[in-house]
Structure 1
Amino acid sequence: MPTIYDIAKKTGFSISTVSKVLNNYKDVSENTRKVVFEAVNELGYFPNSSARTLTTKRSWSIGVVFDEEYGIGMEHPFFNAVMESFKRNVGKHGYDLLFSSNRNGKPKSYIDHFQYRGVDGVVVVRCAIKDPYVEKLMESNIPSVVIDQDTRLASVVYSDNYYGSELAVEHFYSLGHEKIAHIAGSQKMFTGLQRKKGFMKAMKQHKLIVRQEYIVEGGPFTYESGQQGMRKLLECEELPTAVFAASDIMALGAISEIRKSGLNVPKDISVIGFDDIKISKYTTPELTTIKQDTALIGKTAANLLMDQINDKKKNFMSVKIPVELIQRNSCQTIDN
């Protein structure tokens, strides 16, 4: 089995330098760190976890809290992509992930669980705006970062949901649409709330009438909720010519209902989603959407958390990640 001496011999660095890299010391260059970890992977070196924990006073594990209120969890492609990026970036520093969830609505004290496990930090992924169990965790001294949420209790990373909705409405407006509907995400969620607010603001900025029947609550960000929201819109006496769904998955559900009704996308109704999940460019029609930079979200969250762990103190930074409109084939110009 390879040892730290083998790593030192292969890289040409001293044993103390290799040890600093493996134990995540800050006074090592990124190039040195890269060379050492390449050797670690090539030789298949695995440090003794017990010895490393005793030496560094760290568990080398990060707790992950995932919202399970709607039973979606890691199945959602957006969060899957974000967590893959997060895992890859903390993995460069030798960290593994330890998952915990509030499954089936059964309360669990996250702080007790993670303190028992001795995690070095925690990442929270999209929980309800007011979750007392998560808030208690955030108020603790455990380094933490929250993804896709806004709070003053921890460092946060989230997309510019508000502006993304404005981009969607602006695009519809540029194509001549005035009868624009919105299938909103859960208003218990920061993302659902912000995207709806952005939609309302953009409509007013363009002096477009916000019809009450054109705003439907889709609930959780699922395919089924998109279908349900679209069914309500199809019952309107005067159909909208454009629909902005709060997520790509919801948009795809809406498109399926439009087709079932005998209408066509985009000929009869144009549709825009939010997320730019991978499948959105392979659908028929290809989905116009608001792109979230999942790689940057995961990397930023990882960096914020690693800084806190290395500095041995909590930081309270808020990072808003830019979004962009991706134009595909689900929208069409309309003649008024």
Structure 2
Amino acid sequence: MQQIYRSFPLKKVSDQVPLVVSDNYSGGQLAGETLVKSGAKRLLFISKAPVRNISAIREQGFFDYCHEHNITVAKFVTRDIANFVDDFATFINKNTVNTTFKYDGIFSDSDEFASDFYFLLTQKGINVPKDVQIIGFDVARIYSRQQIFLSSIKQPTAEIAKSSVEKLLSQMNQKTTTTASHNHVTLPVHFVKGMTTL
């Protein structure tokens, strides 16, 4: 299948300024693969409008994985409003019968939205991860000792910082301008298991 994500523009200052990013497309694929291997069969992508830039790439990776493996997948995106979490709550209410939610595997392009969805599901009496598994993106922590709560796709932040500095120093020491292809570095992501997947 053609990887449509390549048509999404990445944020960059110019072709002469290094761009170091994590592999967001593979992160979306990894989320889909992890949910399926953990037993999920009806997958859902959730986010907040507008879904663009790296979020759109993460979404595309997730959907491409599902389509390539004939996995049932759907999408729900809230409105771009201050109380967007209300849209999540309405969606959950419409898709829940007693304590059974229509989907059993959820991926979000951010830990923030994944966390919102988790708390709304548990308020409805839905068991996470027994009945519904959730994966976010970023492995966000407030402090270094904080235990990982959400299962999530982790970006290699230390490696991104290191590679960015190395690219800039290398460019400063060169007399000629580096081409755009040599200024773009994509680093791998990996899955970090929390308490929201089996």
Counterpart amino acid of 2:189? Answer: V
Counterpart amino acid of 2:184? Answer: S
* Structure 1: distance between partners of 2:150 and 2:44: 17
Counterpart amino acid of 2:122? Answer: R
Residues 1:288 and 2:185 are matched in the alignment: no
Counterpart amino acid of 2:165? Answer: A
> Is contact 2:110–2:137 with CA below 8 Å preserved after alignment?
yes
Report percent identity of matched pairs. 26
* Structure 2: distance between partners of 1:278 and 1:198: 24
Residue in 2 that maps onto 1:236: 95
Q: 2:76 aligns with which of 209, 216, 221?
A: 216
**Greater helix share, structure number:** 1
Residue in 2 that maps onto 1:304: 167
* Structure 1: distance between partners of 2:10 and 2:160: 22
Residue in 2 that maps onto 1:322: 188
Paired residues, number? 180
Aligned pairs for 1:105-254 within 5 A: 129=9, 138=14, 144=17, 155-184=18-47, 189-210=52-73, 214-218=74-78, 227-228=85-86, 230-234=88-92, 235-236=94-95, 239-254=102-117
Moved over 3 A (4+): 128-131, 184-189, 227-230
Counterpart amino acid of 2:135? Answer: I
Of the structure 1 ranges 259-268 and 201-210, higher mean CA displacement relative to structure 2 is found in 259-268
> Is contact 2:155–2:188 with CA below 8 Å preserved after alignment?
yes
Q: Normalising by structure 1, what TM-score?
A: 0.47
Unpaired segments ≥5 residues, structure 1: 1-127, 145-154
* Structure 1: distance between partners of 2:188 and 2:112: 21
Q: Normalising by structure 2, what TM-score?
A: 0.76
1:156, CA displacement in angstroms?
1.5
> Is contact 2:138–2:155 with CA below 8 Å preserved after alignment?
yes
Counterpart amino acid of 1:282? Answer: Q
CA RMSD, 1 decimal: 3.0
Q: For residues 310 and 256 of structure 1, do their structure 2 counterparts lie closer, same or farther at Cα, with a shift above 3 Å needed?
A: same
> Is contact 1:184–1:195 with CA below 8 Å preserved after alignment?
no
* Structure 2: distance between partners of 1:175 and 1:188: 26
1:188, CA displacement in angstroms?
5.6
- Aligned to 1:164, the other structure's residue is in SS state helix
* Structure 1: distance between partners of 2:147 and 2:116: 15
Q: RCO (CA 8 Å, sep 6+): is it higher in 1 or 2?
A: 2
Unpaired segments ≥5 residues, structure 2: 1-7
**Greater strand share, structure number:** 2
Counterpart amino acid of 2:28? Answer: S
* Structure 1: distance between partners of 2:139 and 2:120: 20
